[in-house]
């Protein structure tokens, strides 16, 4: 396996009268095509770690390597280019633009990157929606779709520029059981069939049990002994 994302002694501390360390000396590697779940108690620094790995935040110290490239020397323009072209993000809240259709929301990253001609971009956006079972919803606005459908549009948007890595922050957190299973299955398939590297923060043991590997985080530090007590009770239900 080839490590796609490498974190080296990552630390993120918020300054203040009493500094707060959110991520504390974390080192890890994630391979190409691997689905990794980051778990831990509330406030343990899971999202903070994900944002460092996704180059959304800058570490106080330490480095993130992406496909063997040290990103610590990148300026903000270069970081923005990498986030747009090589990373895809899915959040607990879909953050779709309310006035845009599903198709136009998926088109946005492609338009910003400018890699494809408009007609080709539109075909790709429609193809992504089709592949996620949203062919009949392409012209709908977010308020005309269910929560699960909106989250699938958000996944299509994350895939728009064919990223190397998908980073998901509680992607099933606001969904019913059926929709959560669908999203879990989609991310699993992206790793298994398309070779995408998927790194997901989750508090849901059923979601985490679909991952290849689970990483425990407690008080900002890696804790290989931390496991939710319900994780091994039963395998996840098959995604519809």
Which residues have C-beta within 8 Å of that of residue 49, sequence separation ≥ 6?
7, 10, 23, 26, 38, 201, 217
Q: In Å, how far from its chain's centre is CA 94? A: 12
Give this prediction's pTM: 0.90
DSSP for residue 235: P
| 3-222 fold | Rossmann fold (3.40.50)
Q: Taking a C-beta distance cutoff of 8 angstroms, is the pair 52, 46 a contact?
A: no
Q: What is the pLDDT of residue 92?
A: 79
Q: Taking a C-beta distance cutoff of 8 angstroms, is the pair 143, 98 a contact?
A: yes
What are the extents of the domains in the chain?
3-222
Q: Taking a C-beta distance cutoff of 8 angstroms, is the pair 3, 58 a contact?
A: no
185-236 per-position pLDDT tens digit = 999 999 999 999 999 999 888 889 899 999 999 999 999 887 776 654 445 4
Q: What is the pLDDT of residue 233?
A: 46
Separation of alpha carbons 81 and 207, rounded Å: 30
Q: What is the pLDDT of residue 144?
A: 95
Q: Which element (helix H / strand E) includes 127?
A: helix 118-131
113-155 per-position pLDDT tens digit = 999 999 999 999 999 999 999 999 999 999 999 988 998 999 9
The mean pLDDT value for 178-184 works out to 88
Per the listing, tokens 């396996």 go with: 1
């Amino acid at each position: 396996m080839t490590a796609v994302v490498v974190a080296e002694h990552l630390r993120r501390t918020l300054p203040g009268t009493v500094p707060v360390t959110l991520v504390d000396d974390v080192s890890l590697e994630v391979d190409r095509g691997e689905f990794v779940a980051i778990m831990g108690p509330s406030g343990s620094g899971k999202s903070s770690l994900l944002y460092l790995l996704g180059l959304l935040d800058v570490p106080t110290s330490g480095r993130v390597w992406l496909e063997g490239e040290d990103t610590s020397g990148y300026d903000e323009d270069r970081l923005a280019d990498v986030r747009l072209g090589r990373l895809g993000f899915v959040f607990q809240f879909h953050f779709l633009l309310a006035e845009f259709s599903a198709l136009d929301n998926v088109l946005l990253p492609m338009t910003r990157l400018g890699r494809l001609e408009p007609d080709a971009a539109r075909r790709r956006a429609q193809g992504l929606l089709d592949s996620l079972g949203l062919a009949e919803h392409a012209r709908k606005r977010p308020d005309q779709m269910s929560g699960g459908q909106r989250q699938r549009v958000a996944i299509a948007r994350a895939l728009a520029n064919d990223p190397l890595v998908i980073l998901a922050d509680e992607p099933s957190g606001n969904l019913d059981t059926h929709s959560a299973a669908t999203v879990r299955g989609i991310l699993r398939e992206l790793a298994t069939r398309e070779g995408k590297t998927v790194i997901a923060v989750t508090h849901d043991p059923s979601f985490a049990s679909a991952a290849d590997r689970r990483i425990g985080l407690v008080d900002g530090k890696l804790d290989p002994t931390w496991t939710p007590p319900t994780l091994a009770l039963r395998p996840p239900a098959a995604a519809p």
